[in-house]
Chain A
Amino acid sequence: MENHYFQPEVECADRESLRALQSQRLREMIKRCYEKVPFYRKKLDEAGIKPEDIKSVDDIKRLPFTTKNDLRDNYPYGLFAVPREELIRIHASSGTTGNPTVVGYTRHDVDVWADGAARALAAAGCTTSDFVHVSYGYGLFTGGLGLHYGAEKLGAAVIPVSSGNTQRQVQILKDFGSNFLCCTPSYAAYIGETCRDMGVDTKEIALRGGIFGAEAWSEGMRENIEKLLNINAYDIYGLSEIAGPGVSYECPEKNGLHVCEDYFYPEIINPETGEVLPDGEYGELVFTCIGKEALPLIRYRTRDICALNHEKCACGRTLVRMAKPRGRTDDMLVIRGVNVFPSQIEFVLTGMGLEPNYVLVVDRAHNLDTLEVKVEMTPEMFSDSVKNIEAVERRMAAKLHTVLNISAKVTLVEPKSIARSEGKAQRIIDNRKI
C-alpha cells in the first residue's frame, strides 16, 4: 500500500531536529506553566526547579508528575494557563468516581489536535477526495469532533453522522459513498454485522478504511472488522486530558502507533518508582503537552501500560511508536520486582484458546514472592491420566513464563469455581504481608 503523509516534514523528520524542536517547546511550556498556573508554580518551587533549569528534553525527568487527581482537585478550570477569551472549546470526560475532568482548548490547541487526527487519516490512506463518515458521538466526548476537525483539516469531506441508529449508518455508508469510517472498534464490528444482516454486500460500499479508537481492541477483533467490512482497520489513541483522538495513530505497518511527539512528549516510567524506562520496557505512559496552550500538562500519568520504540518505521515515519496499551496501572502487581498485569495472563489463556477465567494468588514463602495462576479445567484439557493433565499445566506454565518473565505455578480448578465478575478483587488474591 502506498504511503500517505499529512505533514511529512514532521512525521518523517530527522530525530536531531525533532529533538531540538521538542526542547524549545518544552522550555517555553515550563516558563508559561510557572508564570500562568499557580498549581505548577507551587509544584516547581517545592521541587526546587526554576524554569531556566529546564534546557532540553533530557531535563524532563526532573519535573514532577501530574495525575488525574490533580485535575479533579482543580475542577473545573484550575489548571488552565490562558484567560477565558482565548478559549474556544471545552470538552470533558465522564468520571466514574468523583468529578469529571474538564479540558479546554485555544484555537491553536484545536489546530494541534486536528493535525494529529489528520495525520491518522492520511496514514490510513485517506485523501482530499474521500468522504469520512464519523460515527463517534459528538458532544463533551472528544471522539466525534476530534475526527471531524481532522478530516476537515486534511481536506476530506466529513459526514457527521454521530453514533446510533445503525441501520441508518449502513444506509448512509452505502448511499453517500463513505470511504473511511471513524468510530469505536466494537461499533465498527456491529455496523459490519448489521451490513451482513441487512444483506448489504461490502462490494456495494465504497469503504476502504477505518480509524477505530477510544477502547482497547485485539488483533483478533481487527481481523474480524476487516473481514466484515472488507477494509483496512487502524487503531488511534488519545485521551481528552492530552487532546483527544490523534495523540498517536497507526500507519499501514500496523505495528505500533506513531506518537505526535512534536506536540505530546511521551515517556514510559516505572509506575512504582517514577524512574524513566528504556525502549521496549513496559511501564506507565506519561505525556507532556509541549505544544498546547490552554491545558499544558506536565508529565501527565495516563495509567496506560505501554512501551515505546524509537526505531525508524518501515512506513518512513521517524515519530516514536507506542505499543497498543496492555492494561491499566491500577491492575498492576509487582512480583519479585517484576511488573505483572492480569491482561498478560488473559493474553496467554486466550492465545491457548481458553476462556480467560483465572485467579492470581500471590504469596510470600521464605522471603520470596510466589505466583499461582488458577485456571478452570475444560473438557478439552481433561484426561483420565494425570500425566496428560500435568503436561497441560507445564505447557501453560511455560507460556506464562515467556510472557511474564517470572515463573508461575499453574493449578487447574473445577469449572465455574472462579467468579465471573470483572472486578480486580476477584482476579487477584494477594496474601503477602508486607
Chain B
Amino acid sequence: MIIKQLSIFVENKEGRLSEITQTLADNNVDIRALSIADTTDYGILRLIVNNPDAALSALKSEGMTVSLTDVIAIAVPDTPGGLNKAVKVLSEKNISIEYMYAFLNPRKDTAFVIMRVEDNERAIKALTDGGIRLMHNDEIYSL
C-alpha cells in the first residue's frame, strides 16, 4: 500500500528540471505522476515513477539532493464529491494531509490521488474502513 515517492531539491535555476528529466530518461525511468512545491528560491519536485530505486541512485550519482518518501495512493470515482469523501474520512480521524496531487489517469471514470499524510498506517486503516480503494504499488509502477 505504501508508494515510494522521489522528493528532489531543485534550485530555481534555468535548466535544472530538464537535467532531472534527462537523467530519468537516460535510465529508462518513466514518470507516472509529478508535482512541484514552489518557493521563491527553490522547489521540491515530487515524482512517482515506475522504478523508484533506479531513479534514486541515478539522481544521487548526479549529485542531486533526493530522498524517497512514503506516500499512499487512492482511487476515487471521478464524480462530484469523490475526493471529498476520502478527505472527510481522514479529517474525522484527525489525520492531517501534508500535501496531495492528482495522478495521471488513463481511464476516465476514476481519479487517482497521491497523499502524503502524517501517519500512513492509520491513514490506510481509516481509508479502508471508510470504503476508499487504496492502490497497490505494483498497480502504480506498472501503469
Chain A residues in contact with chain B, CB under 8 A? 377-379, 382-387, 389-390, 411-417
B131 lies within 8 A of chain A by Cβ:
no
Q: Are B65's CB and A384's CB within 8 A?
A: no
Complex CA gap A411/B42 in Å reads 9
Q: Are A386's CB and B11's CB within 8 A?
A: no
Q: Are B98's CB and A382's CB within 8 A?
A: no
> Which 6 pairs between the two chains have the least Cβ-Cβ distance?
A384-B7, A384-B69, A377-B65, A414-B11, A386-B37, A382-B65
Residues of chain B contacted by A415 (CB below 8 angstroms): 63-65
Q: Are B69's CB and A379's CB within 8 A?
A: no
Chain B residues in contact with chain A, CB under 8 A? 5, 7, 9-11, 16, 37, 39, 41-42, 44, 46, 63-65, 67, 69, 98-99, 116
Q: Are A377's CB and B44's CB within 8 A?
A: no
If over half of A's interface residues share one DSSP class (helix, strand or loop), that class is named, otherwise mixed; here it is loop
Residues of chain A contacted by B99 (CB below 8 angstroms): 385
Complex CA gap A377/B44 in Å reads 12
Residues of chain A contacted by B64 (CB below 8 angstroms): 414-415
Complex CA gap A379/B56 in Å reads 13
Residues of chain A contacted by B42 (CB below 8 angstroms): 389, 411-413
Q: Which of B16, B39, B41, B69 has the most CB of A within 10 A?
A: B41
Q: Which of B42, B65, B99 has the most CB of A within 10 A?
A: B65
Q: Are A384's CB and B63's CB within 8 A?
A: no
- Which residue from chain B places its CB closest to the CB of A393 in the assembled complex? B41
Q: Are A384's CB and B44's CB within 8 A?
A: yes
Residues of chain B contacted by A385 (CB below 8 angstroms): 37, 44, 98-99, 116
Complex CA gap A416/B11 in Å reads 12
**Known pairs A413-B11, A414-B11; A382 contacts B39 (CB<8 A):** no
Complex CA gap A101/B64 in Å reads 48
Q: List 29 A-B residue pairs with CB atoms under 8 Å apart, sorted by A's residue number.
A: A377-B9, A377-B65, A382-B7, A382-B9, A382-B65, A382-B67, A383-B7, A384-B5, A384-B7, A384-B67, A384-B69, A384-B116, A385-B37, A385-B98, A386-B37, A386-B44, A387-B98, A389-B42, A411-B41, A412-B42, A413-B11, A413-B42, A414-B11, A414-B16, A414-B63, A414-B65, A415-B64, A416-B63, A417-B11
